[in-house]
Amino acid sequence: MSKKIKVTFRENELFEFDEGITYKEISEHFKQYFDYDILIVKVDNDLVDLSDSLKKKCNIDFFDKSSETGNSIYCRSARFIFILAVKNVLGENIEVIAEHSQDNGVYFSIEGCKLTKEIVNKIYKEMKQIVKEDYLFTKLSVSRLDAIKYFKKLKKIDKANVLKYISNTYINLYRINDIYDYFYGKMAYSTSQIDDFKLTFINENGLVLSLPDIINPECTLDYKHHEKIFNKFLEYTNWGKLLNVKNAADLNLIISKAKVGELINLAEAYYDSQLAKIADDIYNSDRNIKLILIAGPSSSGKTTTSKKLDIYLRSKGFITHPISLDNYYTDMDKRILDKNGKPDFESVRALDINLFNKNLSNLLEGKKVSLPTFNFVLGKKEYNDNFLQLGDNDIIIVEGLHALNDELTMSISKNQKYKIYISPLTQLNIDNHNHIHTSDIRKLRRIVRDNRQRGMGALETLRLWPDIKSGERENIFKFQDDVDTVVNSSLIYEVGVLKIYAEPLLFNINEDEPEYSEALRLINFLRNFLPIPSDNVPNDSVLREFIGGSCFKD
């Protein structure tokens, strides 16, 4: 007679199952709670493959693609299916490289073949066939050294090299049919669960694999090409190739040779060159630019960028005046409420839009204006003889969450505005099949800064992150195309520096916290990189905004 084991679902309902039953079989009892296929199980707060077996009393929960956890599983599994489909259609000698995030998907470059729309369509049909075949994603725990030998034999040097620098004795490979690959994360149960995706031909060098997101999990939206973001990614990728730094192993090699100081200097020079070019563009423009607007998602480095740009503009003879949007919050007794009945600080309606437009219009007309200062203790604007009047060479810099929203500057002529979108658009990969999400870089930056400036642990930052992302979708991303230029604040070396500061904070999250699995994912991500001491990071670096020691005031 089989031994019965007690299982608690969502720390509420108690069930009993036979010892040795798979979590896939258990999931069938709970599928009525989910709108989509169950992809992964959380056992006592640890993510576990559905193919694993029940061995002891535990708490369990499941995730489908409508959750952050499930969506990551879905996207990772889809990438594996795509890689297999490319191999089946184009052969063994084709190299697939996951370059970067793009819209709701990933841009892949294909080396060894010039793409056409017809080829892309064949790859799509092959993906559908792999889904139809319902292959299992089979996990295999192997010696790291054996994995290195395996990938060297296949001439997958990018994977062999990155595994050289991690300390794990064993790693997990996943298999579809007869193909093994290494990913830093879990996979779905079978290919039939990954049935919704789109491929979009971009050019002869690459395509985009689009996937559902947690806002629209029911279907994959049509791909929307963000030209300026795409070109900035491409520019940085080509620059990385010139330096022979394309992935974690390339960076680790430089660190191991004690040559990272030169790379830091090159990365800082590249970042600065973007701001110098903006200052040149504004100086040489035939437009009457009087207002510079800077915005980007959380932890993009907006503060440092605006202050460094201020210096470049002043070197051109401009007289600059930074204006903070924080001083234009509506008084607390007039503040609109969010869905939880609390004062809303995220909406553009939290700002006194009419006053801001009136002040800007008067300033651009050459009038003397009394600017407000918001008293956060009293919750209202105050006027403390802070007057401003613009001259011919004067220019205003506005940096903030809503700076790119035209509603905020509706009274100002487009000819007088220069819009800048900023984000860390990293070109660095872990290996050819594992790219780095820009949101992961921003998340690590935010964890480090929150701890340094606010005394917060990584747990609190991770809890806030879903709300941060929601605010970015609503207030930032939809304005990224209507800008004059994009600034990439990513530094090719920064993960190694962030590792030193973020890793201990992530280890401090207990296993019984809901955020533990995300902390573990980030720890496993950071394990791919050797640490870089911050000694050589300049005090005017955008990275100093997060790790401390900046010559600019926070």
List of residues 6+ apart from 307 with CB closer than 8 A:
322, 552
Strand partners, 369: 388
Query: Crossing angle for the helix pair 516-526 and 438-454, nearest 10 degrees?
Result: 110
Rounded to the nearest angstrom, the gap between the alpha carbon of residue 131 and the centroid of all alpha carbons in its chain is 28
Chain segment 89-100, per-residue pLDDT in tens: 999 889 999 999
Cα 539 to Cα 90, 301, 308, 535: the distances in Å are 49, 14, 12, 10
115-125 pLDDT, tens digit each: 999 999 999 99
Place 32 in a pLDDT band, splitting at 50, 70 and 90. very high
The DSSP 8-state label assigned to residue 206 in this structure reads E
Crossing angle of the two packed helices 260-284 and 302-315, in degrees rounded to 10: 60
The alpha carbon dihedral of 60, 63, 67, 70 has a sign of positive
Tens digit of pLDDT for each residue in 179-237?
899 988 899 999 999 999 999 999 999 999 999 999 999 999 999 999 999 999 999 99
Over residues 444-466, the pLDDT tens digits come to 999 999 999 999 999 999 999 99
Q: Domain ranges in the chain? A: 4-64, 69-225, 228-547
For position 516, what pLDDT does the model report? 92
Handedness of CA 355, 357, 363, 365 (dihedral sign): negative
pLDDT of residue 93: 87
User: Per-residue pLDDT averaged across 413-428, rounded?
Assistant: 94
Cα separation, 115 vs 129, in Å, equals 20
Tell me the average pLDDT of the chain.
93
Question: Which pair of structure tokens corresponds to residue 404?
Answer: 């790119």
Contacts of 160 (CB under 8 A, 6+ apart): 148, 151, 152
Identical fold at 4-64 and 69-225? no
Centre a 10 Å sphere on the Cβ of residue 289 and count the other Cβ atoms it contains: 18
Q: First CA to last CA across the chain, in angstroms?
A: 66
> What letter represents residue 274's amino acid?
Q
Q: Residue 440 in contact with residue 525, Cβ under 8 Å?
A: yes
At residue 551 the predicted structure's pLDDT band, cuts being 50, 70 and 90, is very high
Q: Which residues of 298-309 are buried (b: 16+ CB within 10 A; e: fewer)?
A: bbbbbbbbbbbb
The pLDDT of residue 348: 85
Beta strands in 68-193 (DSSP E): 95-101, 105-111, 138-143, 170-176, 179-182
Report the pLDDT value the prediction gives residue 504, as an integer from 0 to 100.
97
Distances from the Cα of 22 to the Cαs of 17, 25, 194, 498, 517, in angstroms? 10, 5, 20, 39, 21
CATH class of the domain whose range is 4-64: alpha beta
**Which 3 state secondary structure label does DSSP give 305?**
helix
41 sits in which H/E element: strand 40-43
Average of per-residue pLDDT across 229-254: 95
Concatenated DSSP letters of 432-473: TTEEPPHHHHHHHHHHHHHHHHH---HHHHHHHHHHHHHHHH
pLDDT of residue 81: 97
> Between 380 and 553, whose confidence is greater?
380
Run of H or E residues at 70: helix 68-90
Instruction: Place 265 in a pLDDT band, splitting at 50, 70 and 90.
Output: very high
Q: Which of 425, 433, 430 is nearest to 236 (CA)?
A: 425
- Rounded to an integer, the average pLDDT of 306-313 is 96
CATH classification number, 69-225, choose in 3.30.980.10, 3.40.50.261, 3.20.20.80, 2.40.50.100: 3.30.980.10
For 455, left (φ over 0), alpha (ψ -120 to 50), or beta? left
In angstroms, the CA 211 to CA 66 distance is: 12
pLDDT in tens, 123-165: 999 999 999 999 999 999 999 999 999 999 999 999 999 999 9
**Of 488, 497, 431, nearest in space to 255 by CA:** 497
Average pLDDT over residues 278-301: 95
Within its chain, how far is the Cα of 266 from the centroid? 23
113: left (phi over 0), alpha (psi -120 to 50) or beta: beta
387 CB contacts (<8 Å, ≥6 apart)? 368, 369, 370, 371
Question: What's the pLDDT score for residue 554?
Answer: 53
* Measured distance CA(261)–CA(536) in Å, rounded: 6
Residue 335 pLDDT > 90: no
Please state whether beta strands 4-9 and 58-63 pair in parallel, antiparallel, or not at all (unpaired). Answer: parallel
Which runs of E-coded beta strand occur in 351-411? 369-370, 373-375, 380-382, 387-388, 394-399
- ∠ CA 447-512-65 to the nearest 5 degrees? 75
CA nearest neighbour of 461 among 431, 491, 439: 439
Predicted local confidence at residue 1, as pLDDT: 60
Q: What is the pLDDT of residue 470?
A: 85
**Which superfamily, per CATH, for 228-547?**
P-loop containing nucleotide triphosphate hydrolases (3.40.50.300)
HSE-CB for 89 with a 13 A CA cutoff: 26
pLDDT digits (tens, 9 = 90+) for 42-82: 999 889 999 999 999 999 999 999 999 999 999 999 999 99
